[in-house]
Structures are given as structure tokens and as C-alpha cells.
Amino acid sequence: MPAPAFAPDNPSPSHPNTTTGLDGFIARLTQKYRGRITGCLSLPARAARHAAFPPGLDARLMAALTARGIQQLYSHQRETWDHVAAGRHAVVVTPTASGKSLCYNLPVLDAALKTGAKALYLFPTKALAQDQVAQLMALNEAGHLGVRAYTFDGDTPGDARKAVRTRGDIVVTNPDMLHQGILPHHTKWAQFFESLRYVVIDEMHIYRGVFGAHVANVIRRLLRVCRFYGSEPVFILSSATIANPQQLAEALIGAPVAAVTESGAPTGQKHLLLWNPPVINPDLGIRASSRSQTTRIARMAVKAGFKTIVFANTRLMVEVITKYLKDVFDRDPRKPARVTAYRGGYLPTERRAAEAHLRAGKIDCVIATSALELGVDIGSLDVCVLNGYPGTIAATWQRLGRAGRRNRAALGVLVAGSDPLDQYVVRHPEFFFGQSPEHARIDPDQLLILMDHVRCAAFELPFVMGERFGKEKLEDLLAYLEEQGVLHKEGEQWHWMAEGYPANSVSLRSVAEGNFVVVDTTDGKREVIAEVDYSSAALTLYEGAIYMVQAAPYQVERLDWTGRKAFVTRTRADYYTDAIDYTKLKVLEAFERADAATRGEVHLLRRVAGYKKIRYYTHENVGYGTVNLPDQEMHTTAVWWTLDPARLAAAFPSRWQALDGFLGAAYAMHHVAALLTMAEPHDLGRAVGDAGSTWFATVGADGRGAPKAFDGETVDLDRLSREFRPTVFLYDNYPGGIGLSAPLFDLRREVVRRARDLVAACECAHGCPACIGPILASDEQRGFSPKGAALEVLELFALDERHESA
């Protein structure tokens, strides 16, 4: 592939050497590693489009903006102001660092100064909330505005909470705190709600799928409380790029929303390279690791003087890459660190310190998980390296957008891993460059979620005859709750009569099992150094595990599973550990059957059987250890499709070919089912395995089906003693289920039909991520068409439906 040609940038006056130097760096990369770059894209620099300050803007606010160096607005900031000033809800969808914060801060501060109006800000993370308050304080101090902005979250001290409620002009919180800490106690917030004029929802694209459905119902409850206190707030939302921002915003707040999608902010030139690690074993087709290539690119960028961010998809990989880069740049402990890691699990003080150092330009390279994907201001970055494809086009662009803030030119490099999806993306750059970002969908009226929030709303305020809450018939829901003994109807009102408040038992994000704390006991200490969420604990805190904090290794000596504590000591181990885990799914009970589909209850069991010790740099396995932890079990509901073994044998010449067909069909059905139920793909689990749970199937690195037993051993399908009954399972990926399987069963024919149409209409030759998943081997190499096999399975499912109808 010829080295890509890049047009020269127009240097930014404040950074005169950045663009020229970046062009040279890109040229060196493309010349030296020509064979590894499979695709490139350059987006030209764009000049700013400005607009005047709106007439009547408070003079004090104008002075504060001027003191901060803001002489005029960008066009999208003024467009948002005009919508909001007219009383219209608005959603702003512009790139990272385009000044979205001012879109909502401007009308909020103006109203606070002129009329004493209040505003509620909702952010998905505490880090974003803290960052926003810091920005507000900077404006406050620049103009001596006297507007009081406070955070209200789980870390807010008890003695400060009254001051926030009674004195705060702007209260910055998160949906979970609004749900459990504010709305159930709204009488304490009466003064605030009476004057509430604006509600800001930042990073709106986070609120999709089941989480988004919960948040939409929290907004319904918020609006009920607002109406009770006589306020009708205007909503201002902001989002990263998704395919349907206006639709998602309207679904979240239940009202028409004006979309502002054309950014007036200037941008420097953006360059993107797709990078495939070189083949190091041609006979086996083994490539160098994405980790080694990512480290190499980051090392070159930092040595060239560019501020760099590296994104990794797991916390373990963040720590490994951090170690490798610290070994190069932070060998002298007497000098300030140039490299830092940033991920969930670090203590809040450590994360805040890292953010401050990044903003101040004291850090040359940060390695992060998706925790830094959102819009926390971390200063100016030049290079963004992605260690592995994040899984969606929207997430990829969101991460790449972290470099190039403040009108600087930027380089993004997507380094592929060895799994099929990564390999497909870099081998088919036209797929990535040509696809639009994904849609974000929610279904707030999903019955079990809706019922949870009807309970919460009834506790907060009595329901009145004729009132609406969602699209379901509210009186039927209230009558059901009356039968359950939690509501009492008196006249035309339903009153809460149970003990406790229901919001406390409803989690917006997941089932809360309690975090584990990591306690350093080195030399007799007992110091908490990190937190680990429940779902990750079994994979990272087993006894013998190496747990890393800023690449410093600690060995887990003892795990108190009941007490949620892991006791660790510092070690000098020259290896890290990686858990070996297996999952199996077993049918417990069938509720209903029709066509090839069945709906029922299933049991998922996840076992961490052991761990590998992997030496740094060489990455050879230097040992194994066993793990004795409780199996992680989940009962949930599912819909599954299977076929008569005789019909399957007649349709496919081999079981292996049939298995590939089932895996491809499952992929298409999973994505169609998520679309039809307005869920995110991760809200639904997908599995292909034996209906009797003797084996399950995975997709190997070559994109082919690999059947495994529960102990991890490969299964020879040709020697199976029992009949071959592969099954596609789509299950609620939440303990107990959240009600997706019932509507999915009702839509079973639509799922099969649309999946078949999706695969048939796709223009790819063998299969791709847009239809049956990434396929790396051609038809000739396999001896059959994986796409054709998937279509055959879907046709057999549809044939069963037609027989049932007849």
C-alpha cells in the first residue's frame, strides 16, 4: 500500500509547531510501517463560524465571558440559546471540545442572575460532575457572579446536604442520586423545585437500552414532582455523535426536542490510521499482539513530544501497557511521572489528581479505559491510540475525539487485536469509514421497568384518576399494585401504604451486590488502595492474582468474599495473571412453545477455574494456578430456537458447517432482536450451544465455530454420543430477567424474518459484521459459504413457522 499523502495543516497561532511536527510524525509512521497500515482517512481543518452574543444577555455574565477570553459565541451555541429562549427543549450534538458546556451554562447562568431561577444538571459520572462545577466556578470567579453551584452525590457530607437543597442555584448530580436521593425526599427540596427552570442532561448517548429506559422513567417522575410544585423546566441535552439524537432525546423526556447538529467550533485536521499488527508466524497466521504495537506507537509519539492518550478495553490491559511505558519514561522515581493510568477502581482522590495533572500538561501519556471516553476536560492531546476496536463505530469516534481539542491537529491510530471483529474492521477499511454511527434506542414502557417506577412515583406523590405515566393503561397497573397491598385507593387517588421506599430496591444500572475493597497489608499496613465492582471481583481478586495499581504489582494473599475485602501485599513479580473462566447455560423450564421457538427460564453459570501467569514482555505462560471461588450463577428468562436433528442432518453435509450456520444466524437474530425490543445488544445475551448444556460454541480467532465443554476442552462434534441439537439462545442479561423475553417471543417470527432479510440483502461475499459477524476465511478456504449456512438455518426456522401457521 502506498504511503498516504496528507495535506499540510494551517498551524494554530498558539501551537505553531504542532501541526508541522505531526505531519512529519505521520510521514515517518507511514513510511516505516507501510505494510501495517491498512487504511487512512484525513478530515480537513475547519474554521470557526461565530455568532454575536444574544441581546439582553446579563452584563455581569458578558463581563465574565470576556474575562475568560470569550468575545463571541460559536454558531451552535447561539442556535441553542435561541431555541431555549423560545421555551423549546434542545439537544446539542457537536464534537468533543466544541463548547457544548456553554450551550447550557449560558441560559442557566443568565436566568440565575436575572430571576434567581434554579437548574438541575445530570451527569452519568461523578468525574464529569466535578469537572462541570470547576468550569462553573471559573466563570463565577471571572465575573464575581455569586451563582452557587454544588454537587450532590453519594460523597456529599450529611451536614452539607441541607445547604445544597436550600441555597444551591445549580445542583449537579447523577440519575442514580436523583432516583434514590432526591425524588423520594422531594418535600425537603420544595424551595428548589418551585424555582426549577432548567434541567441539563449531559452525555445523553449513555442513556440507551435498559439503563436509558430506567432514566426516562426517572425523568417522568421528576416532571410529576415539578408539576406538583408549579414548575415546567426546559431541558437542554448534549450528546456525542449517534445516528438518532433527536429521537433519543424525545424518548428520554417525552416531549418534542429541537436538534442542534452543525458545529460552529473550529477544528484542526484529523488523521486516522487503521493498523494491523504484522504476521510473525506465517504457517499459523499468528500476528504480533496489539499490545506491542500500541506500546510502540505511544512510545514513538511521546518521544516526539506529543501528548498522547491510549485507550485499552480492559483494566488489566491498561495496567500492562502502563507498566511498559513507565519502564521507558518513568525509570527515575525522583522525577515527576510522565505516564499515568486512569480507570475505574482507582480511589476518587487518585482520579481527581490525574485529571488535574492532565489539564496542567504535567502528564505526557495517559492509558485509560472507557472511563476517559466521556467529556472530562483533560487538556490538549495530540495522539490517540486505540488498543483494540471498542465494539462500535460511535465509541471509536468518541475515543478518537479526545485528541485534537482546542483547535489542534490530531492523529488517531486504531490498532487491531486478533479477534475476528478487529480483524474484519482493519481488513475492510471501507466498512468502518462507510458506516454511520449506531442508533441509540430505549423502551421506557417495558413493563417490568415501568412497574418499578410506577411504584417509586406512587411513593413520591399519590396518583390521580386520569393521570398518565407512560403509554400503558395506568389504572390497570395501579389496580395490580392495590391487589399487592402496596397502594390504597381513596376516592380518585391511589396512596402508597407499604413500609420503606421502593426506589431503594431499584437499581438503574445493574443489580448492586456491593463493591470489594483492596487493602494493602504490606509491612503491617491496612490501607485501602482501590475498589473493584462485584462483577469483576472473581476475575481479578482470586488468591494468587497479581492486582496492579498504576502498574505497581500487588499479590492477593487472601480474599474475604463475604466481607467484600481483598488483602494484598506489594510484590516484585515479573509476571501478571489472567483468569480462565467458562460459562454454560442450562434450560430449567419451558413456559411456552411455538414454531421453532421456546420461551422459558434458564440458568447461567460462570466459573473461574484457574489463572495463567504471563511473563512481561515475552508473554509466555510461566505457570498456572487454581481458583476456588463460588460459581457466579444467574437465573433469567430466554427465548431459544432449535431444529429437529433429522431435518438439520438433511440440510447440512457436516455438523461443523451447521454450527457455523447457527453462529451466523444467532449474530443476525441478536442484533435484530435488540432493534425490535428497543434494547441495547448488551441488554440481551446471546449463546449457541447444546440444548442439554453439554457443550457451548464460541467463535475462534479465525472466525470459525469452536465447540467447547464446560471445562474448556474442545468438543469433537463428529464423536458426540448424543444427538446433535444446536440451539440459539437470546436471554435477558440481568438476574431474574427484566421482561425482554416475553415481547421477544411474541416477535419470534419477525426476528427470524428480519434476520433472514438482513443477511440476504447484505452485499458482502462471505459474511461481515453488518450481517452474520466478521468472517475472515473465504468460501474456498472453508469449503462452504458461512453466509449461505446462516441463511439456511434461518430458512429452516422460518419453515417451522410456516408449518405451525398451516
Query: Per-residue pLDDT tens for 675-684?
Result: 888 888 888 9
CA angle 757, 763, 765 (to 5 degrees): 110
Query: Per-residue pLDDT tens for 111-161?
Result: 999 999 999 999 987 777 877 888 888 888 888 999 999 999 887 888 889
- Indicate the pLDDT class of residue 285, thresholds 50, 70 and 90: low
Average predicted confidence (pLDDT) for the chain: 88
Nearest Cα residue to 600 out of 571, 633, 570, 638: 638
Give the whole-number percent of the chain exceeding pLDDT 70: 93
The answer to whether residue 179 scores a pLDDT higher than 90 is yes
Q: Which residues pair with 532 in a beta bridge?
A: 516
Mean pLDDT of 52-73: 93
Burial state string for 751-790 with b = 16 or more CB within 10 A and e = fewer than 16: bbbbbbebbeebebebbbbbbbbbbbeeeeebebbbbbbb
Pairing of strands 196-201, 118-122: parallel
Mean pLDDT of 322-329: 96
Burial (CB count within 10 angstroms: exposed 0-12, middle 13-18, buried 19+), residue 488: middle
The answer to whether residue 511 scores a pLDDT higher than 60 is no
Residues 6+ apart with CB under 8 A from 391: 313, 421
- Indicate the pLDDT class of residue 3, thresholds 50, 70 and 90: very low
Pick from 269-278, 295-304, 406-415, 559-568: least confident:
406-415
- Indicate the pLDDT class of residue 806, thresholds 50, 70 and 90: very low
Task: Give residue 126's pLDDT.
Answer: 75
Task: Give residue 11's pLDDT.
Answer: 33
Query: Per-residue pLDDT tens for 370-386?
Result: 877 776 667 789 999 99
Query: Per-residue pLDDT tens for 745-756?
Result: 999 999 999 999
Task: Give residue 131's pLDDT.
Answer: 78
Task: Give residue 287's pLDDT.
Answer: 85
Q: Please, are residues 757 and 750 in contact by the beta-carbon 8 Å criterion?
A: no
The answer to whether residue 772 scores a pLDDT higher than 70 is yes
Mean pLDDT of 502-522: 83
Task: Give residue 373's pLDDT.
Answer: 72
Mean pLDDT of 606-622: 89
- Indicate the pLDDT class of residue 82, thresholds 50, 70 and 90: very high
The answer to whether residue 9 scores a pLDDT higher than 60 is no
Task: Please give the sequence-ordered ranges of beta strands (E in DSSP) within 507-574, or none if there are none.
Answer: 516-520, 527-532, 546-549, 552-560, 565-570
DSSP H helical ranges for 229-368: 245-253, 290-303, 315-329, 348-359
Q: Which three cell numbers stand for residue 501?
A: 421506599
**CA 89 from centroid of its chain's CA atoms:** 25
- Indicate the pLDDT class of residue 55, thresholds 50, 70 and 90: very high
Task: Give residue 695's pLDDT.
Answer: 84
Task: Give residue 17's pLDDT.
Answer: 37
Nearest Cα residue to 295 out of 385, 369, 370: 385
Mean pLDDT of 536-550: 93
More confidently predicted of 83 and 160: 83
Q: Which three cell numbers stand for residue 519?
A: 487493602
The answer to whether residue 15 scores a pLDDT higher than 60 is no
- Indicate the pLDDT class of residue 170, thresholds 50, 70 and 90: very high
Task: Give residue 411's pLDDT.
Answer: 96
Pick from 570-579, 596-605, 658-667, 699-708: least confident:
699-708
Nearest Cα residue to 417 out of 386, 446, 444, 380: 386
Task: Give residue 513's pLDDT.
Answer: 58
Task: Give residue 238's pLDDT.
Answer: 94
The answer to whether residue 14 scores a pLDDT higher than 70 is no
Query: Per-residue pLDDT tens for 441-467?
Result: 888 998 889 999 999 999 999 999 999
Integer Cα distance of 553 and 550 in angstroms: 8
Mean pLDDT of 332-350: 90
The answer to whether residue 34 scores a pLDDT higher than 90 is yes
The answer to whether residue 788 scores a pLDDT higher than 90 is yes
Nearest Cα residue to 468 out of 167, 255, 188: 255
Task: Give residue 377's pLDDT.
Answer: 67
The answer to whether residue 51 scores a pLDDT higher than 70 is yes
- Indicate the pLDDT class of residue 526, thresholds 50, 70 and 90: very high
Task: Give residue 734's pLDDT.
Answer: 83
Mean pLDDT of 406-424: 85
- Indicate the pLDDT class of residue 545, thresholds 50, 70 and 90: very high
Q: Which three cell numbers stand for residue 648?
A: 438439520
